[in-house]
Amino acid sequence: MDPKQLLSCIDFRYITDALTEEEAYEILVNSLLGKKEREEQMLTHGYPAYTTSCAWLGYSDQQLKQLCTKALKDGWTRFKVKVGTDLQDDIHRCRLIREMIGPDNILMLDANQRWEVKEAIEWVTKLAEFKPLWIEEPTSPDDILGHAAISKALAPLGIGVATGEQCHNKVIFKQLLQAKALSYLQIDSCRLGSVNENLAVLLMAKKFQIPVCPHAGGVGLCELVQHLILFDYIAISGSLENRMCEYVDHLHEHFKYPVIIRKACYMPPQDAGYSTEMKEDSTRKYQFPQGEVWQKLLSGHKIYLH
């Protein structure tokens, strides 16, 4: 699509105080320069990804070491650690991961909305020695001013705030950007309804010079969001600085066109469509309540009740 066609896909209602149609058009026109080269770059090298699979809460030290060792061997350089349940355990796990990945690889933290605002600032300050790039979802995803306060407090430590996977429309993203409440914007291809709404957010992020680092994982989220982030780089942002897309090695076997990861990068999909068509066998087995998987679960539940 050319810039005018793309603009026709976007509803600018309620966001013109942050991004006008004219500004969006200028961004798209300016991004035409080098577009073909960026497309070739993506086809050759792919879009940089980070892994969340190494450091879930509840993993033993041995599991963390094994998963990190394998990830490093496979070429991963960006690692996310779940935090927020126990401070001493977080310090222990962050130290272990940082020692495993070394000083030059990237470490991020994710609290999954765990803290109060003041608590988030105090907790993350105590993890600053491990040089995290960001703290993700430190508090309620609806608390824009809370995120702004956390962002302001942590900026001197060189730690950014990342959020967005729970944001359900462009207006919330507009306010997060206007309030300087985030340093990394995390769209979610399902939470934010439609490609069209995502286009508006990608363009606002470009205007505010905030890198987009999408949320993924789950059932088909990686398959979906790869299209959006490739488009962002090729046609809007034109930058890979501090940009990466989440990857979780989970449930891809149920899709006809699963994501392809090579050297810790998303390789552009070559098949038509949005990459989320599921295999007939999987949909049959998991259909509720007749599917084989549910039948086993339900029969076990009945036995337990008796």
pLDDT digits (tens, 9 = 90+) for 28-51: 999 999 999 999 999 999 999 999
- What does the pLDDT read at residue 306? 44
Q: Max alpha carbon distance in the chain (Å)?
A: 69
Q: Are residues 25 and 128 in the same domain?
A: yes
Q: What angle do CA 116, 118, 121 make, to 5 degrees?
A: 105
Q: Are residues 97 and 172 in the same domain?
A: yes
Give the pair of three-digit tokens for residue 86. Answer: 């126990």
Q: Are residues 139 and 154 in the same domain?
A: yes
Q: Are residues 97 and 225 in the same domain?
A: yes
- What does the pLDDT read at residue 286? 95
Q: Distance between CA atoms of 224 and 212, rounded to whole angstroms?
A: 15
- Long-range interactions of 257-260: CB distance < 8 A, separation 24+: 257/223, 258/223, 259/222, 259/223, 259/226
Give backbone dihedrals phi and psi of 245, rounded to 5 degrees, phi first. -120, 135
Q: Are residues 155 and 284 in the same domain?
A: no
Per-residue pLDDT of 93-150, as tens digits, reads: 999 999 999 999 999 999 999 999 999 999 999 999 999 999 999 999 999 999 999 9
- Residue 26 clears pLDDT 90, i.e. is over it: yes
- What does the pLDDT read at residue 218? 83
Per-residue pLDDT of 243-271, as tens digits, reads: 999 999 989 999 999 999 999 999 999 99
Q: Are residues 69 and 211 in the same domain?
A: yes
Q: Distance between CA atoms of 165 and 186, rounded to whole angstroms?
A: 6
Q: Give the chain's mean pLDDT.
A: 95
Q: Are residues 174 and 295 in the same domain?
A: no
What percentage of residues in the chain have a pLDDT greater than 90?
93
Q: Are residues 183 and 286 in the same domain?
A: no
The answer to whether residues 92 and 118 touch, using CB atoms and an 8 Å cutoff, is no
Q: What angle do CA 242, 244, 245 make, to 5 degrees?
A: 155
- Residue 59 clears pLDDT 50, i.e. is over it: yes
| Omega prior to 289 cis, within 30 of 0 | yes
Residue 196's domain spans which residues? 3-275
Q: Which one, of 158, 155, 156, 162, lies nearest residue 139 by Cα?
A: 162
- Residue 91 clears pLDDT 80, i.e. is over it: yes
- Residue 201 clears pLDDT 80, i.e. is over it: yes
Q: Are residues 287 and 269 in the same domain?
A: no
Kindly list the catalytic residues: 82, 215
The answer to whether residues 275 and 266 touch, using CB atoms and an 8 Å cutoff, is no
For residues 169-193, give the mean pLDDT.
96
Q: Distance between CA atoms of 305 and 303, rounded to whole angstroms?
A: 5
**CATH code for the domain in which residue 78 is found:** 3.20.20.120
- For residue 108, the cross-strand partners are 80
Give backbone dihedrals phi and psi of 130, rounded to 5 degrees, phi first. -90, 5
- How does residue 162 score in pLDDT terms, banded at 50, 70 and 90? very high
**Distance (Å) of CA 82 to CA 97, 114, 115, 211, 296:** 11, 11, 13, 21, 32
Q: Are residues 282 and 169 in the same domain?
A: no
- What does the pLDDT read at residue 23? 98
Q: Are residues 289 and 196 in the same domain?
A: no
Length reported for the chain: 306
Q: Are residues 207 and 291 in the same domain?
A: no
DSSP reduced 3-state for 171? helix
- What does the pLDDT read at residue 302? 61
For residues 280-300, give the mean pLDDT.
94
Q: Distance between CA atoms of 162 and 247, rounded to whole angstroms?
A: 16
The answer to whether residues 50 and 78 touch, using CB atoms and an 8 Å cutoff, is yes
- What does the pLDDT read at residue 305? 45
Sign of the alpha-carbon dihedral angle for 108, 112, 113, 118? negative
For residues 70-85, give the mean pLDDT.
97
The total of structural domains in the chain comes to 2
What percentage of residues in the chain have a pLDDT greater than 70?
98
